[in-house]
Amino acid sequence: MAATRPVGGPAVLCILGVVAAGSLCADRIEAQSAQRFSLDDVLERAGQYAIDYGQALTSVLADEHYTQRLVWRRGGDELQTRRLRSEIAFIRLADSTEWLTFRNVLAVDDAPIAQAAGRLGRLFQASPRSLPEQARLIAGESARYNLGPFTREINLPTTALHFVHPAHRGNCRFDKEREELVSGEQTWVVGFKERDRGSLIRRGDGKNLPAEGRLWIVPTDGRIVKSELVVKDFVKDAGGSRAEIYVTWRRDEALDLFVPVELRERYEGPWTAMRAPKQSERYDIDGVASYSNYRRFTADFTIK
């Protein structure tokens, strides 16, 4: 799914202030221009951005360094830590504007996983007919290395973008909450809440889990520079379970594209662990992942 800044403005400010005021003028004009947009305009741009992003990310790999921790809910002290080193692949679906993201874990706590190295590269060269099954097997295999008492596949940096994609946008309610400056760019903070029907995320027993969250959208071109995803009730018969995933995006010069650079997550559930005989305390799961070394394979491919 992948700005130009207008120049000009009140002449007296631009001339008297030279460079500093010129920058201020541009910022003001951009802000004033953004105010003329409707929410539908911004969502339309963001939806097209999501489509273009899938095209731009085709055959792209990135390195992921991911630290997950079990932490005591009271006090936040560390109970257990796991470090994952992985590859992330972005794969477009054939005959569609949609795309998927897959993780291939290469090492756990610095111990290499046998035959994992180069597995995504080999997948790229596979017959298109075998791609769907193989890619999902890799994703399922990698998910089992997540720390904690439950498996999950939503902890990928691009998950939140699917909700603004035209294929799914109609199943969400969107509201502009505020405007916010992010890394020098004016953004609209747009909240979304998925309706019950056709949820993109499901629990292991098949129950729909309507998601909600926020997207930080540059209104002039629809770029998404931050995202928040919240999923509730992901543990069966455990009211109060909650997952939160936050992603930050930055421009990658080599790809000339905005890409995820950091993911932060937290999962609150009913889990307890023995700290002393006959004494238990609840713990949560948190994680931080960083992304680097984005590169493109020469072979283009899609999942059919």
pLDDT above 70 as % of the chain: 75
More reliable by pLDDT, 215 or 105: 215
Q: Give the tens place of pLDDT for each residue, 88-129.
A: 888 766 655 667 788 889 999 999 988 777 666 666 565 555
Structure tokens at 1: 């799914």
Q: Which 3 state secondary structure label does DSSP give 228? A: strand
SS3 content of the chain, % helix, strand, coil (to 5): 25, 40, 35
pTM of the model: 0.80
Query: Quick one: pLDDT at residue 79?
Result: 92
Element (H, E) at 251: strand 242-252
pLDDT value at position 204?
Answer: 82
Q: Coil, strand, or helix at residue 8?
A: coil
Q: What is the structure's pLDDT at 13?
A: 27
List all residues 6 or more positions away from 124 whose beta carbon is below 8 Å from its beta carbon: 59, 297, 299, 301
Give the tens place of pLDDT for each residue, 51-84: 888 778 777 889 999 999 999 998 889 999 999 9
Model pLDDT, residue 205 = 86
pLDDT in tens, 251-291: 999 888 899 999 999 999 999 887 766 667 899 999 999 99
More confident residue, 123 or 292: 292
Q: What stretch of H or E contains 44? A: helix 39-56
